């Protein structure tokens, strides 16, 4: 019998915490999103839709997934209210919009504009970013920049049209490349590219992707494939690890660990790319959530498209803000629900724990 190593704490149990729980008595009297392990959430990831116009085989089946009904999805006004609450009352300083594919959200520019008008407790503007597959970005990048969006992360796993079509089940590589150029032209910098290497599919492209990114002026980040597929077929043994990625890059590039900087809450470990004379050519990052987790410094809180707070990508529990909001809860009540959710955050995802409980929702429904 083969053991499949997937990754969430086995203490978690499916379920959803609802309204009316009240603040835990052991929680300090502070407005911020604290947890019991000394972390404070400052970075909010907001999923704007569970829908996507690609069908990446490690994310969803060819026919897609059962999408949320329109009435289940937060309205633009509801998104803005909850984001405003997070910034004004809960100490959030950064907001990243995700999906599904967030460019499918018609009101995206208005939501971004409302977010960038917010100010943190010390009067600083909110840092805003967008994670996208890049399709449609070329025609919307200018409007997003005008709305105040700071930068974009574009997902791209291969530079080969045939492989792109095989991975995504769509022939849209040219559109993604156009989107990257459009983002750069609009000043949404630094433009970051997120790539997942898949064993036997594109795991020979690490150096090609970095060479291309350096030439184009993009910042490349490799991401270990995570156990968030809807069919539960992920196997750790099939994942291309950070060690393998770095070994492939070092065969063709000189990588120097960036000195004087700790990764902290940043998910990527970063290396400078230098030539034989030591001149800086750019950098490359590896997000190794499985083999080199950064849970101890995690500063994220997540809001799904249907208004559920998640404390971790791998959570099997959620806290429902949407129903509380629609039932007339005031901001103080919503804030306390959010604080209570984050106070219960577990110390780590324990990806290598054999007692895996698969998250109840796939990545497209959670938000990247």
Annotation: binding site for GTP: 45, 96, 131, 192, 300-302
Task: Compute φ and ψ for 258, nearest 5 degrees.
Answer: -65, 120
Cα–Cα distance list, 162 to 60, 62, 166, 207, 276 (Å) = 19, 17, 6, 18, 34
Q: What is the 3-state secondary structure (H, E, C) of the chain?
A: CCCCCCCCCCCCCCEEECCCCCCCCCCCCCCCEECCCCCEECEEEEECCCCCCCCCCCCCCCCCCCCCCHHHCCCHHHHHHHHHHHHHHHCCCEEEEECCCHHHCCCHHHHHHHHHCCECCCCCECEEEEEECCCCHHHHHHHHHHCCCCEEEEECCCCCHHHHHHHHCCCCHHHHHHHHHHHHHCCCCCCEEEECCECCCCCCCHHHHHHHHHHHCCEEEEECCCCCCCCCCCCHHHECCHHHHHHHHHCCCEEEECCCCCCCCCCCEEEEEECCCCCEEEEEEEECCCCCCCHHHCCEEEECCCCEEECCCCCCEEEECHHHHHCCCCHHHHHHHHHHHHHCCCCCCCCCCCCCCCCCCCHHHHCC
Question: Is residue 104 a contact partner of residue 51, using CB atoms and an 8 Å limit?
Answer: yes
List, as residue ranges, the binding site for S-adenosyl-L-methionine. 58, 100, 155, 226
List, as residue ranges, the binding site for [4Fe-4S] cluster. 52, 56, 59, 295, 298, 312
List, as residue ranges, the binding site. 45, 52, 56, 58-59, 96, 100, 131, 155, 192, 226, 295, 298, 300-302, 312
């Amino acid at each position: 019998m083969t053991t499949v190593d997937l990754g969430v704490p086995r203490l978690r149990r499916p379920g959803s915490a609802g309204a009316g729980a009240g603040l835990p008595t052991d929680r300090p009297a502070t407005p911020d999103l604290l947890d019991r392990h000394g972390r404070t959430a400052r970075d909010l990831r907001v999923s704007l839709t569970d829908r996507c116009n690609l069908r990446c085989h490690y994310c969803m089946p060819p026919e897609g997934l059962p999408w949320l009904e329109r009435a289940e999805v937060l309205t633009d006004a509801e998104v803005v209210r909850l984001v405003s609450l997070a910034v004004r009352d809960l100490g959030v300083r950064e907001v990243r919009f995700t999906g599904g594919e967030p460019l499918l959200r018609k009101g995206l520019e208005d939501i971004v504009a409302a977010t960038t008008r917010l100010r943190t407790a010390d009067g600083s503007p909110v840092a805003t970013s967008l994670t996208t597959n890049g399709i449609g970005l070329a025609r919307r990048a200018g409007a997003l920049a005008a709305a105040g969006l700071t930068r974009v992360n574009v997902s791209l796993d291969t530079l080969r049209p045939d492989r792109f079509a095989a991975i995504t089940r769509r022939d849209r590589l040219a559109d993604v490349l156009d989107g990257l150029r459009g983002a750069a032209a609009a000043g949404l910098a630094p433009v970051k590219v997120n790539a997942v290497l898949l064993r036997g599919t594109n795991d020979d492209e690490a150096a090609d992707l970095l060479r291309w990114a350096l030439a184009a002026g993009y910042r490349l980040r490799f991401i270990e494939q995570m156990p968030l597929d809807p069919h539960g077929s992920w196997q750790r043994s099939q994942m291309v690890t950070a060690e393998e990625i770095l070994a492939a890059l070092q065969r063709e590039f000189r990588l120097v660990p960036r000195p004087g900087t700790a990764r902290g809450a940043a998910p990527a470990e970063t290396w400078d790319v230098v030539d034989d004379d030591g001149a800086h050519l750019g950098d490359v990052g590896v997000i190794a959530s499985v083999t080199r987790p950064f849970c101890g410094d995690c500063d994220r809180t997540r809001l799904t498209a249907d208004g559920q707070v998640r404390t971790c990508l791998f959570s099997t529990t959620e806290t429902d803000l949407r129903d509380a909001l629609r039932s007339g809860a005031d901001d103080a009540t919503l804030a306390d629900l959010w604080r209570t959710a984050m106070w219960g955050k577990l110390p780590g995802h324990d990806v290598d724990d054999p007692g895996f409980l698969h998250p109840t929702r796939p990545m497209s429904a959670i938000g990247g």
